[in-house]
Amino acid sequence: MAFVRGMLGGVQARGDDIAPFLAVAQIPAALLEQASSRVTGEQYVALFHALVDQREDESLGFLSRPLKRGSFALITRSALGAQDLQTAMKRAAKTMQLLQDDLLLELHAEGGRVGLRLRFTNPSVAEPVFLHEMLVRVFWRLLAWFAAGKLRPIRFDFAFEIPAHAGSYGRIFPGLCEFGHQHTTVWFDASWLTHRVHWDEVAVRMFLADAQSNVILSRTRDDAISNRVRDHLRRTQPSWADLGVTASALHMSAATLQRRLALEGVSFQSLKDELRRDIAIVRLNGSSVSLIELAQELGFTDSTAFQRAFKSWTGSAPGAYRKAGG
């Protein structure tokens, strides 16, 4: 919920009503007050789209003047024709500077590393934690795309103290995270600066087709084992296959599946629980299904087991969660 409140921070700071945006994303306003509440990835992306589309501002109201729709596409296309990663990022940084007045994107060398740094020239907009989280992610993902998805970060530095929701950073920022730095920066190996960039207009169009969703929501590779497990669990609802059945369906042993999931930082049970949690949130917010029926849909032996699990996932009992959403 900290990320949801953070995303709304720009429009709230301007005194605008957030209710229309929450309505589009089907997020009950009462959930904002429950720190342990969660929304689905689809709701989160829908909120982002609603803010951008209705406000005509890809900076979500955080910067002193809007980044009109199409700004990110223009920044991306400005790098077309660049011979290497360094040139591509410098072109993107220059275009970003032409579009707004509040910050600079800078490449900063240090030893064998290079940092893509956010340097705010307007201190009045630099305070919101979410703005740092969003911008460093957006431009890191762009930089990684320039490098054909092979570029790996060494470390993320953040220009704020560790927030209460930092425990969620592992799924968003794929590297060591440090706090309390002067500038928010993502670091990578300097050898990548000379990496050749081969993208053409067709590739750019494909990248931009769903760029907003891809940069605002953590995505894993399409061939990741965790994605294959999720797909299998979705297809086999409501039987909710166990580890052994799922491993067999993916043509591997249970031990191999566990080991490969561990390499991606997840477990079979956590994937299963995340999927069941998201389904439960959608059903509680959008239907009148009874808790007994919902427990059966999610593969629980009884309603009590489901209620206990849901409270461990969200911090709220399902009945209280539905009431807050109503």
pLDDT value of residue 168: 83
pLDDT in tens, 38-94: 888 888 889 999 999 999 999 999 999 999 999 999 999 999 889 999 999 999 999
Mean pLDDT on 218-244: 79
Mean pLDDT on 21-36: 87
Say whether pLDDT at 118 is over 60: yes
Over the chain, what is the mean pLDDT?
88
Say whether pLDDT at 134 is over 90: yes
Phi-psi region of 60 (alpha: psi -120 to 50; beta: other; left: phi over 0): left
Helices (DSSP H) in 150-267: which residue ranges? 201-209, 211-216, 225-235, 243-249, 254-263
> For the whole prediction, is pTM greater than 0.85?
no
Kindly indicate the confidence band of residue 7, based on its pLDDT and cuts at 50, 70 and 90.
very high
Tokens at 28, concatenated: 């009950």
Residue 26 is which amino acid? Answer: Q
pLDDT value of residue 215: 67
CA distance 85 to 104: 18
Residue entry with tokens 């982002």: 48
Say if residues 258 and 269 touch (Cβ distance below 8 Å). Answer: no
Give the lowest-confidence range in 95-99, 197-201, 227-231, 249-253: 197-201
pLDDT value of residue 160: 96
pLDDT value of residue 48: 92
pLDDT value of residue 218: 59
CA distance 325 to 264: 34
